[in-house]
Amino acid sequence: MRSEKKPWSPLLCDELIEEILSRLPVKPLIQFKCVCKGWNSLMSDPYFIKLHLSKSAAKDDLEHLQLMKNVCLGSIPEIHMESCDVSSLFHSLQIETFLFNFANMPGYHLVGSCNGLHCGVSEIPEGYRVCFWNKATRVISRESPTLSFSPGIGRRTMFVFGYDPSSDKYKVVAIALTMLSLDVSEKTEMKVHGAGDSSWRNLKGFPVLGTLPKVGGVYLSGTLNWVVIKGKEIIHSEIVIISVHLEKETCISLFLPDDFCFVDTNIGVFRDSLCVWQDSNTHLGLWQMRKFGDDKSRIQLINFSYLHLNIRPFEVNP
């Protein structure tokens, strides 16, 4: 519930001040918290934070978007982050980038961002830890409890970050393929942790995977989604979309056409709908799932041949 407000100005009504401030970029907004106690209280109010986020997301401009990546400098195994404003890619001849550590915490690297909040992961001898960081407000969460998987002789991991609107909580999902021994196939494990939780929980219904997803999950309306190879045996394996429901912490499989190739298939969001596309050496196809979770609602939006357009998508030089 929204907190009670006190009058901030004898000249403008509180509602008008709130509306003006909710339209400002984050950087000056943080500076204006020092104007008075009333403004500082307003900008810390969860209601105002959600109002500002909804207005920022509705903008068509690129002012609030940033590109961020992990980089390693020199021979020292220290991970930094590099970022730049997306708008500068279109309006500036020289792109200015910024180099910094994740929340000034050595060993952490970025694994995902959602609504301006960043998720970082650090690998330690006992396993893994995550923390959440708001770069604009410089607020850092406590480190999560240690995440551990089944012991083995080798492991591949992936972390994905998203938002659960039902509980108003940010959650990180961890996937691990652990080789238990040389004569045993990899074990698939999937766990979830929410900001402020005291433990990691096993996700229900996650299938056995043949390999990790190619890229991190795509977030859509409280779900995280990947294209994966389901099953260990090549003959019996299939390419599916794995969708994790962050509120229920369950997992379902959404099936793709039989002729899809894992290497050529990608996943994304188009017009608030889940979409997949295949970009091979000869063709490009794009499919949209108009009703989430319903395989039959999938329609093909694009299907053309590079050869007919006299386009060469790429060349491999010997």
DSSP 8-state code for residue 253 = E
pLDDT of residue 69: 55
Q: Say if residue 318's pLDDT is above 80.
A: no
pLDDT band at 70 (very low <50, low <70, confident <90, very high): low
Structural tokens at position 185: 């196939």
Q: Say if residue 48's pLDDT is above 60.
A: yes
Query: What's the domain count of the chain?
Result: 2
d(CA 117, CA 67): 14
Its domain, for residue 54, covers 14-58
Q: What is the mean pLDDT of the chain?
A: 75
Cβ pair 22, 51 in contact under 8 A = yes
Cβ pair 281, 314 in contact under 8 A = yes
Using CB atoms within 10 Å of the CB of residue 176, give its burial: 0 to 12 exposed, 13 to 18 middle, 19+ buried. Answer: buried
Cβ pair 117, 170 in contact under 8 A = yes
Let me know if residue 222 belongs to a domain: no
d(CA 307, CA 283): 8
d(CA 243, CA 206): 9
d(CA 25, CA 16): 17
Cβ pair 223, 244 in contact under 8 A = yes
pLDDT of residue 140: 84
pLDDT of residue 236: 54
Let me know if residue 210 belongs to a domain: no
Dihedral angle of Cα 276, 216, 195, 2, to the nearest 10 degrees: -40
- 159-168 pLDDT, tens digit each: 988 999 888 8
Cβ pair 247, 224 in contact under 8 A = no
For residue 44, the tally of other CB atoms under 10 A from its CB is 12
**Taking the mean position of all CA atoms in its chain, how far away is CA 84?**
18
Distances (CA, A) of 255 to 72, 260, 282, 295: 38, 10, 24, 7
Let me know if residue 283 belongs to a domain: yes
Which one, of 47, 55, 21, 16, lies nearest residue 35 by Cα?
21
Neighbouring-strand partners of residue 191:
174, 202
Cβ pair 271, 278 in contact under 8 A = no
Neighbouring-strand partners of residue 112:
119
- 228-279 pLDDT, tens digit each: 887 765 555 678 888 899 999 998 888 877 767 777 788 888 778 888 887 7
